[in-house]
Amino acid sequence: MEPDVTEPDRAGAVKLPDGRRLGWARWGPADGTPVLFFSGAGMGRRLGFGADALPALGARLIAVDRPGLGASDPAPGRTLDDWVRDIGGLAAALDLPAFRIAAFSQGAPFALACAAAGVAEAVAVVSGQDDLRHPDLAGLLAPDVAGMLSAAEADPAGFEASFSGVGPDLLRRLVVDMSSEADAAVYTAPAFSEAYARCLADGFAQGAAGYARDLALGMAPWPFTPERITVPVDLWYGGRDASPVHSPDHGATLARRIPAARRRLLPEAGGALLWTHAGEILSALLGSGPDTR
């Protein structure tokens, strides 16, 4: 069965206090419990997950474009702390009650920054990028990733600029090429492949600057301490996830660092478990799922 790639029920943009627009898309009942979705590298807002599970869970999924991606205005020099403020502005503009956050891959640092600031009730990180500078991960990094960290530390601006030529087609090929057989089957399935290509084209509609800034922020030292996160955090990883830019130990070190973390390792799943296990992830995030620790 192919993963659900339902188009959003509604899409729009809010105006932030500084005048910038922040794009969003929504699935599920309009009055459902809000779950903000922070997508992966270069992805626009129109590829969500678990749309078929939302009505029964009484939830609405709201995907948010980060600045410079999709329908969100750029914010040169932005930080993870700036993103927390942007989410506060989005929540106010949409009149959201307390909300939860789900994040995939490169969206993880942005979600954990919100968790550290206490602006979300709970967070689910799925196949997330880790705090790759943590010393316990040093011996586990792929050589290319270790090289990227060194380059980002030596010349942050030059590192970011070096990705200005990346486009949606190149990024899509890289993702598929780095994938395990289990994930390649998801990414190349006809309906999903088409939806993923559209979402990357949307994400890069303004060029590569938004993607490059996200990458630089993920590789730089995080401006928060995971040990001080107090809200519940579920860390979902698949044992067959081969991506070198996700957590190199499938979240084991990160789970020890976050006091209220629950590590959920699914041995037979791949990095695309956001779509192959969507209902389980959403159900656990909303507090109605089985404890699979």
| Structural domains of the chain, count | 1
Distances from the Cα of 43 to the Cαs of 69, 220, 244, in angstroms?
A: 8, 20, 18
Separation CA 52–CA 265 (nearest Å): 24
Q: What is the pLDDT of residue 135?
A: 96
Q: What is the pLDDT of residue 198?
A: 97
Domain for residue 165, yes or no?
Answer: yes
Q: How many other CB atoms are there within 10 angstroms of residue 270's CB atom?
A: 24
Domain for residue 70, yes or no?
Answer: yes
Separation CA 47–CA 6 (nearest Å): 8
Separation CA 165–CA 203 (nearest Å): 14
Separation CA 167–CA 161 (nearest Å): 13
Give the structural domain span for 21. Answer: 10-285
Domain for residue 81, yes or no?
Answer: yes
Q: What is the pLDDT of residue 1?
A: 56
Alpha helix stretches (DSSP H) within the chain: 54-57, 80-93, 108-117, 143-154, 156-161, 168-178, 181-187, 190-203, 209-219, 252-257, 273-276, 278-285
Separation CA 58–CA 211 (nearest Å): 32
Domain for residue 2, yes or no?
Answer: no
At 90, which CATH number? 3.40.50.1820
Q: Could you read off the pLDDT of 156-196 as tens digits, one per residue? A: 999 999 999 999 999 999 999 999 999 999 999 999 999 99
Domain for residue 31, yes or no?
Answer: yes
SS3 262: strand
Q: What is the pLDDT of residue 257?
A: 98
Q: What is the pLDDT of residue 4?
A: 80
Task: Identify the helix (H) or strand (E) that includes residue 252.
Answer: helix 252-257
Per-residue pLDDT of the chain in tens (293 residues, 90 and over written 9):
578 899 999 999 999 999 999 999 999 999 999 999 999 999 999 999 999 999 999 999 999 999 999 999 999 999 999 999 999 999 999 999 899 999 999 999 999 999 999 999 999 999 999 999 999 999 999 999 999 999 999 999 999 999 999 999 999 999 999 999 999 999 999 999 999 999 999 999 999 999 999 999 999 999 999 999 999 999 999 999 999 999 999 999 999 999 999 999 999 999 999 999 999 999 999 993 334 33
SS3 181: helix
SS3 64: strand
Q: For residues 206, 92, 285 and 135, what is the CA-based torsion angle, rounded to 10 degrees?
A: 60
Distances from the Cα of 48 to the Cαs of 63, 203, 210, in angstroms?
A: 7, 13, 19
